[in-house]
Amino acid sequence: MNIKRFRKELFSRSKLRAIIAIFVFLALWELGSRSNEWFGFTPPWIGHVPAPTAVLVAWYALLGDPGYWQSWYLSTLRVLAGFFAAMLIGIPLGLFMAVNKTFNGIVFPAFEILRPIPPLAWVPASIIFWPTQELSIAFVTFLGAFYTIVINVVGGAKSIDVRFFQSAQSMGSSQWDVFRRVVLPATLPSIVVGSAVGMGITWEVVVAAEMISGGGGGETGSGGGLGFFIWNSYVGGSYEQIVVGMISIGIAGFICSELLRKLGSFFTPWLKKR
Amino acid sequence: MSAVLQQAGKAEKGVLKGAIRIEDVVKIYDPDGAAVMAVDHCSLDIPAGEICMIVGPSGCGKTTLLNAIAGFHSITSGSIYLDDELLCGPGKPMAQPGSDRIVVFQNGALFPWKSNLDNVAFGLMMQGKLGKKEIYDKARSMMADAGLSGTEHNFPGEVSSGLRRRVEIVRALMNEPKVLLFDEPYRALDSLTKSVMHEALLEIYYKNKVTIFFITHDLEEAIFLGHRLVIMTSRPCKPKKIIDVDIPHPRDYSVLTSTRYRQLMDETVELVHEEAKKAFSAGEKEG
């Protein structure tokens, strides 16, 4: 009982600490941004950033703007499209590469040559290759997650302890049983890790791709995704909106990672209590 | 219970299955032409239902022998029989792994992603001989017999290492193997847990008489559990001396304070220590 209470207290304390830390951070930011106005001198860097209160005001105004939500929607859609395509192709490919040496020998060299090419380097090429802007952005996002997922799946599947195979075989498992009952579950934790990292990369990539490609060519920042929203705000000189866009991406990425973490621990319940 | 144990203790050989005959087995590892002999013309007869303790220094090749019986590795020459049936030998360098020979591994090989109950039921589910309900009923009752009630729905990672070992032995027994192959299963356990595990193992053994091929380098464990000790030479490995442990089964931990146990310890300690020293200096040369 005592331990439980202690834990509870610790938890709430750490929560409190987090909240205080965020407020202190915001207060310092406000102070820095407004110091020209209040004290007549502009500190470097922070002095040019719009104050949090100004950002909040701009944000509040945007909440009713369907164009802003459209940006959320489009970026999320592109991230999810690229991400799920990467899972759909990457997981089976990685598993097959781990299981079949010949296949691995054929695919791995090409894979290793292509892998160091940053997804963003693909932007011009993919605009040429793919018929629509939408597809080319999704393709670049796909690449962002794809390599990470494949590498993790291959690594996870290859590092399965040989004892698991041996005992499964001894107990009469067929090849397919071994794959389904041993290889798949044993690789799941690596799939989860690869997906989480891959998801982070897709958000990085989608924003940059949208900035470069013009994000589908919507007018006045609406319809172009969050990356284009930021770029458009920059071009339009609305610095508050730039920050709004940045924070929005932070929130979107956080939600995605959190959902993925929940999903991951749902699929790997045996790792919970370690 | 003691009546059951005594009855089981009297039931010797005869109808039991699981006799292993190892004949002149040689295993040479040949990585990059540098031939290393792991097992050197090893012959050993293990009658059905015996607990045979294989004692030798670390890395002497005991595990190679175990892997050959289990069908995980090939042998270079010689042959191994199970109940007069050839497992591996001339023309068949590697035995087929099967549920008649189940290994209990050094660090355990319970599937961490399956609950203890699912682990125990795994073998029979794979073999598909029984219906799911029958299999799970059997799994539950076997777990209960081994004192594992209440841990059925835990993952292996959620119970103590001692319990984990017990689950693994029950998982092995579910397959009704003729032979249990133990590869230093209690190595990582502390000595107190070990003593509990030893008694538990004997109890399980008295209920399910199977042949036990038990690798260890712990003499105390070897004498306490075994009908016979086979003391192995350091690499390449072959039997150096076979010692009958003439302490009657069923045994419990009071055996450890008996005079005969002490005598056997005295007799074997020197032999084992000699081999350990050889293995140690050989290891230094290799390094």
> What confidence score (pLDDT) does residue A266 get?
92
Pair of tokens at residue B126: 């794979």
Bridge partner residues of B232 (DSSP):
B239
Residue B62 has pLDDT above 60, yes or no: yes
The answer to whether B109 contacts A164, with C-beta atoms less than 8 Å apart, is yes
Say which amino acid occupies B67.
N
Most B CBs within 10 A among A161, A171, A191, hence the mutation to make, goes to A171
Among the ranges given (A202-216, A245-259, B49-63, B141-155), the one the predictor scored with the smallest mean pLDDT: A202-216
Measure the CA angle with vertex B23, ends B19 and B24; round to 5°. Answer: 155
Q: How far apart are CA B215 and CA B185, in angstroms?
A: 8
Residue B159 has pLDDT above 70, yes or no: yes
A37 vs B286 pLDDT, higher one: A37
> What confidence score (pLDDT) does residue A2 get?
65
Beta strands B211-216 and B51-55 are parallel
B123 touches chain A (CB under 8 A): yes
Residues lower than pLDDT 70 in chain A: 1-2, 7, 9-10, 214-223, 273-274
Say which amino acid occupies B107.
N
> What confidence score (pLDDT) does residue B240 get?
85
What does the buried/exposed string (b/e) look like for B108-140 if buried means 16 or more CB atoms within 10 Å of the residue's CB? Answer: bbbbbbbbbbbbbbbbbbbeeeeeeeebbeebb
B97: chain A residues, CB-CB within 8 Å: 166, 169-170
**Chain A interface residues (partner B, CB cutoff 8 A):** 161, 163-164, 166-174, 177, 181-182, 185-186, 188, 268-271, 273-274
A166: chain B residues, CB-CB within 8 Å: 70, 72, 97, 103, 105, 109
The answer to whether B126 contacts A177, with C-beta atoms less than 8 Å apart, is yes
CB pairs under 8 A between A and B: 67
> What confidence score (pLDDT) does residue B12 get?
45
Count the neighbouring beta carbons within 10 Å of the beta carbon of residue A267: 14
Place of tokens 């920059």: A234
Q: Which of B102, B105, B122 sits opposite A163 (nearest CB)?
A: B105
A176: chain B residues, CB-CB within 8 Å: none
Q: Which of B102, B111, B157 sits opposite A273 (nearest CB)?
A: B157
Threshold 0.95, pTM exceeds: no
Question: pLDDT confidence of B15, banded at 50, 70, 90?
Answer: low
A142-186 pLDDT, tens digit each: 999 999 999 999 999 999 999 999 999 999 899 999 999 999 999
3-state secondary structure of A179: helix
Residue B7 has pLDDT above 60, yes or no: no
> What confidence score (pLDDT) does residue B129 get?
83
> What confidence score (pLDDT) does residue B285 get?
46
Q: How far apart are CA A31 and CA A52, in angstroms?
A: 10
Question: pLDDT confidence of B283, banded at 50, 70, 90?
Answer: low
Bridge partner residues of B52 (DSSP):
B213, B228
Count the neighbouring beta carbons within 10 Å of the beta carbon of residue B258: 12
Q: Chain A: residue nearest B108 by CA?
A: A163
3-state secondary structure of A174: coil
Q: Chain B: residue nearest A163 by CA?
A: B109
> What confidence score (pLDDT) does residue B203 get?
86
Spatial CA neighbour of B97 closest among A98, A159, A162: A162
Pair of tokens at residue B81: 């029989």
Q: How far apart are CA B206 and CA B201, in angstroms?
A: 9
Q: Chain B: residue nearest A174 by CA?
A: B126
Pair of tokens at residue B91: 């023309």
B231-279 pLDDT, tens digit each: 888 878 888 888 888 888 888 888 888 888 888 888 888 888 888 888 7
CATH number assigned to the domain with residue range A64-271, chosen from the 4 options 3.40.720.10, 1.10.3720.10, 3.40.50.2300, 3.10.129.10: 1.10.3720.10
The answer to whether A164 contacts B111, with C-beta atoms less than 8 Å apart, is yes
The answer for residues whose C-beta is within 8 angstroms of residue B12's C-beta and 6 or more apart is B49
Task: Please spell the DSSP secondary structure of A26-56, one letter per residue.
Answer: HHHHHHHHHHHHHHS---TTGGGSPPHHHHH
Q: How far apart are CA A100 and CA A81, in angstroms?
A: 28
Please say whether the beta carbons of B47 and B230 come within 8 A.
Answer: no
Measure the CA angle with vertex A121, ends A120 and A122; round to 5°. Answer: 85
Phi, psi of B59 (to 5 degrees): 70, 20
> What confidence score (pLDDT) does residue A21 get?
94
What interface predicted TM-score (ipTM) does this complex get? 0.84
B101-118 pLDDT, tens digit each: 999 988 889 999 999 999
Domain residue spans of chain A: 28-53, 64-271
> What confidence score (pLDDT) does residue A215 get?
54
Domains of chain B: 15-100+179-286 (3.40.50.300), 111-176 (no CATH)
What 3 state SS string does chain B have?
CHHHHHHHHHCCCCCCCCCEEEEEEEEEECHHHCCEEEEEEEEEEECCCCEEEEECCCCCCHHHHHHHHHCCCCCCEEEEEECCEEEEECCECCCCCCCCEEEECCCCCCCCCCCHHHHHHHHHHHHCCCCHHHHHHHHHHHHHHCCCCCCCCCCHHHCCHHHHHHHHHHHHHHCCCCEEEEECCCCCCCHHHHHHHHHHHHHHHHHCCCEEEEEECCHHHHHHHCCEEEEECCCCECEEEEEECCCCCCCCHHHHHCHHHHHHHHHHHHHHHHHHHHHHHHHHHHC
Please say whether the beta carbons of B16 and B48 come within 8 A.
Answer: yes
Q: How far apart are CA B55 and CA B75, in angstroms?
A: 20
